[in-house]
């Protein structure tokens, strides 16, 4: 199948938080200098998060896309997303504050995107408390919102434009009954907001009034996007950048069961979200973003390549390994080749982006899990926690490199020899070529290979 020129897609290649937002932002910024750019996201909601530096201000984006701060860029929140109106309005306000009153990019919300409400967050919290003591989720109501689709009673963005209370009232009564069945009162439930403080869901009247006010403010951004997407995708002069949320290792099919997210975290989700307009096989670059020298994870999964606690804590502090959305400290483990190679294969990756190349230490070898052993035999990765708890990692060590020399390099051939050796190992062992690496936290600190 021929690939479309000027098309790029980026996903998390492991367990999330790999720094893909920065990569997407860089590509959008570069290509916006030469012509029209569309940025499209097809999954997740406000459980995703990355920080964008704007002048001297840093703004955390969750539902808004990379490219929001760039003039004339079209950003589309796609059908496959679950959108929380209150959080989205708070993000928009933060962007306007950072820019002095405007949102540089154009924002379109697909009328078919699912509306995520405080009812979903309340139900998730009550259900998780009943099941596990509320471990392992972001508490953002993502799963219940997607379940609404499967059970055939979702609220979609088009139900907010024009706003009528009938569906919202019916929705409230449903979740009121579900939560009552678990022994709690929906009206009294406190749910998280984007700012971090809790908000009481409130009575039916209070809840419906809140949604009505949010719907009025979001109405100008809600539209059918089918024709817009079709025309732009057919125009090969328009650059498309697809921004996935979460990562392949969090997918319900490919992640460490039962610790997964509810949306399709692979590029396959683009096909469904665009209603068949964009086949991901036609996207020229489909890159998975990975951390080069270690891996991080947030959740209840227990990964095999456990790292010494002192080194893990040092990396956590140096690399600011805390969730952009939840602020939870991430678990730090050694890089895992079997898992990452599995994700690259099932995710249909054409390239890799290796971030955090600067997180190395002079006297500490880079320890990499290169295989799994089980009862004396070499075994493969399988997406199941019960299985992974029975295997032992097999390690190989690599010499570190000088970070100053790394950051002075402008091309791959100028990288320290030990860094070149390590990157060649990653390409060979994962079976996917490198697109680029990052050598530090700043946008200009990176090297493109292709």
Q: Which tens digit of pLDDT belongs to each residue from 269-283?
A: 999 999 999 999 999
> 25, 30, 34, 50: which one is catalytic?
50
- The pLDDT tens digits for 82-99 are 999 999 999 999 999 999
Give the H or E element holding residue 208: helix 204-218
CB 78 within 8 A of CB 280: no
pLDDT in tens, the chain (450 residues): 799 999 999 999 999 889 898 899 899 999 999 999 999 999 999 987 777 766 677 788 999 998 999 999 999 999 999 999 999 999 999 999 999 999 999 999 999 999 999 999 999 999 987 876 445 566 799 999 999 999 999 999 999 999 999 999 999 999 999 999 999 999 999 999 988 889 999 999 999 999 999 999 999 999 999 999 999 999 999 999 999 999 999 999 999 887 889 999 999 999 999 999 999 999 999 999 999 999 999 888 899 999 999 999 999 999 989 866 567 789 999 999 999 999 999 999 999 999 999 999 999 999 999 999 999 999 999 999 999 999 999 999 999 999 999 999 999 999 999 999 999 999 999 999 999 999 988 778 899 997
Q: Report the DSSP pairing between strands 377-379 and 366-374.
A: antiparallel
Nearest to 225 by CA among 111, 97, 143, 367: 111
Nearest to 296 by CA among 279, 277, 275, 313: 313
The second-level CATH assignment, the architecture, of 114-219 is Orthogonal Bundle (1.10)
Domain positions in the chain are 4-112+222-287, 114-219, 290-448
pLDDT for 156: 98
Whole-number Cα distances in Å, 177 to 115, 128, 170, 185, 207: 20, 17, 11, 9, 15
Please state, in angstroms and rounded to a whole number, the distance separating the CA atoms of residues 61 and 50.
6
Q: Dihedral of CA 353/324/444/91: which sign? A: positive
* Residue for token pair 């972001």: 138
pLDDT for 134: 46
Is 4-112+222-287 a CATH 3.40.440.10 domain?
A: yes
CB 250 within 8 A of CB 261: yes
- 227 tagged catalytic: no
CB 291 within 8 A of CB 19: yes
- For the domain 290-448, what is the CATH code? 3.90.170.10
Please state, in angstroms and rounded to a whole number, the distance separating the CA atoms of residues 97 and 57.
10
Whole-number Cα distances in Å, 294 to 20, 33, 56, 315, 330: 16, 34, 30, 9, 12
pLDDT for 132: 63
CB 11 within 8 A of CB 341: no
pLDDT for 49: 78
Please state, in angstroms and rounded to a whole number, the distance separating the CA atoms of residues 89 and 94.
9
The reply to whether 290-448 shares the fold of 4-112+222-287 is no
- 428 tagged catalytic: no
């Amino acid at each position: 199948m021929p690939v479309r020129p000027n098309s790029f897609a980026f996903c998390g290649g492991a367990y999330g938080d790999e720094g893909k937002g920065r990569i997407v932002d860089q590509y959008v910024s570069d290509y916006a200098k030469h012509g029209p750019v569309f940025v499209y996201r097809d999954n997740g909601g406000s459980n995703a998060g990355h920080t964008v530096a704007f002048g001297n201000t840093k703004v955390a984006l969750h539902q808004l896309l990379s490219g929001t701060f760039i003039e004339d860029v079209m950003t589309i929140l796609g059908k496959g997303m679950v959108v929380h109106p209150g959080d989205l309005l708070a993000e928009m306000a933060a962007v306007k504050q950072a820019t002095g009153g405007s949102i540089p990019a154009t924002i379109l919300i697909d009328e078919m995107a699912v509306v995520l409400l405080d009812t979903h967050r309340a139900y998730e919290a009550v259900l998780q408390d009943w099941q596990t003591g509320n471990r392992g989720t972001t508490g953002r109501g993502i799963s219940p919102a997607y379940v609404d689709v499967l059970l055939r009673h979702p609220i979609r963005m088009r139900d907010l434009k024009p706003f009528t209370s009938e569906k919202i009232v019916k929705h409230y009564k449903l979740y009121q009954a579900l939560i009552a069945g678990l022994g709690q009162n929906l009206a009294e439930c406190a749910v998280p907001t984007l700012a971090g403080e809790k908000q009481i869901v409130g009575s039916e009247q209070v809840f419906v009034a809140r949604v009505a006010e949010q719907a009025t403010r979001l109405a100008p951004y809600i539209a059918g996007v089918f024709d817009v997407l079709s025309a732009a995708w057919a125009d090969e002069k328009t650059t498309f950048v697809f921004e996935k949320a979460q990562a392949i290792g969090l997918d319900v099919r490919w992640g460490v069961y039962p610790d997964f997210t509810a949306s399709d975290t692979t590029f396959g989700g683009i096909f469904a979200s665009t209603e068949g307009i964009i086949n991901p096989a036609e996207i020229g670059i489909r890159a998975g973003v990975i951390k080069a020298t270690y891996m991080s994870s947030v959740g209840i999964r227990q990964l095999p390549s456990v790292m010494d606690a002192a080194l893990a804590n040092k990396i956590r502090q140096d690399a600011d390994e805390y969730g952009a959305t939840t602020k939870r400290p991430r678990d730090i483990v050694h890089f895992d080749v079997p898992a990452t190679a599995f994700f690259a294969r099932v995710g249909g990756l054409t390239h890799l982006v290796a971030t955090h190349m600067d997180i190395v230490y002079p006297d500490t070898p880079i320890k990499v899990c290169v295989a799994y052993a089980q009862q004396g035999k070499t075994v493969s990765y399988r997406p199941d926690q019960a299985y992974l708890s029975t295997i032992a990692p097999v390690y190989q060590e690599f010499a570190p490199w000088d970070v100053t020399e790394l950051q002075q390099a402008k091309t791959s051939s100028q990288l320290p020899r030990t860094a070149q050796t390590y990157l060649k190992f990653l390409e060979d062992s994962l079976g996917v070529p490198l697109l680029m690496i990052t050598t530090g936290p700043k946008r200009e600190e990176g090297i493109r290979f292709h």
